[in-house]
Amino acid sequence: MTQYTLQAHRPSNRCLWEGRRVALKVASGAGDLQTCTGKPRDSKMVEWTDFERATIVDIFSKMQYEVVGPAALARCLVVYPWTQRYFGNFGNLYNAAAISGNPMVAKHGTTILHGLDRAVKNMDDIKATYAELSVLHSEKLHVDPDNFKLLSDCLTIVVAAQLGKDFTGEVQAAFQKFLAVVVSALGRQYH
């Protein structure tokens, strides 16, 4: 059993660690260690501001899926060539021109973006939204979870190019937060 010692400022802070036995040092008492188990007060993966929600919805409403998806996946396959090993049945991936012109890359890139729609529509429960995809990618496809982050970085570059000056620092922060939550949800099966 993992034991954590926490300084609690009030007894209501006791049960924040789901599924773990926690040693809690209460600051207001004689310093006795207590143990508790329980669910966290808030089971959400992340908190979204109104600006972040509106920004994510706005980005996806402007996105040209058939352009951005293929461009992001092609960029990932070119920049990080070791990611190509998961696409052995896609045919010619020998150079940048072949990858960019490959119809299977284009189709899968578009599929990926439509998969992100699920997260946009379920921003309060992205973890559950991607539970099945996480299992598929880890247990059947054996995709290295670091590749999700690489693809999200490539997607950010392509979206930034598409949005131009509208892709401000604040917009980028919201978009990358969204992608980080998706990447985390897809990687949950690996933990």
Residue 83 scores a pLDDT above 70: yes
How many beta carbons lie within 10 A of that of residue 145, not counting itself?
Answer: 17
Percent with pLDDT over 90 in the chain: 51
How many beta carbons lie within 10 A of that of residue 133, not counting itself?
Answer: 16
Which pLDDT score is estimated for 133? 66
Residue 162 scores a pLDDT above 60: yes
Residues 6+ apart with CB under 8 A from 179: 152, 155, 156
Average model confidence (pLDDT) across the chain: 77
Which pLDDT score is estimated for 2? 40
pLDDT average, residue stretch 159-164: 96
Residue 182 scores a pLDDT above 90: no
Which pLDDT score is estimated for 85? 86
Directed axis angle between helix 103-121 and helix 50-62, to 10°? 150
Residue 11 scores a pLDDT above 90: no
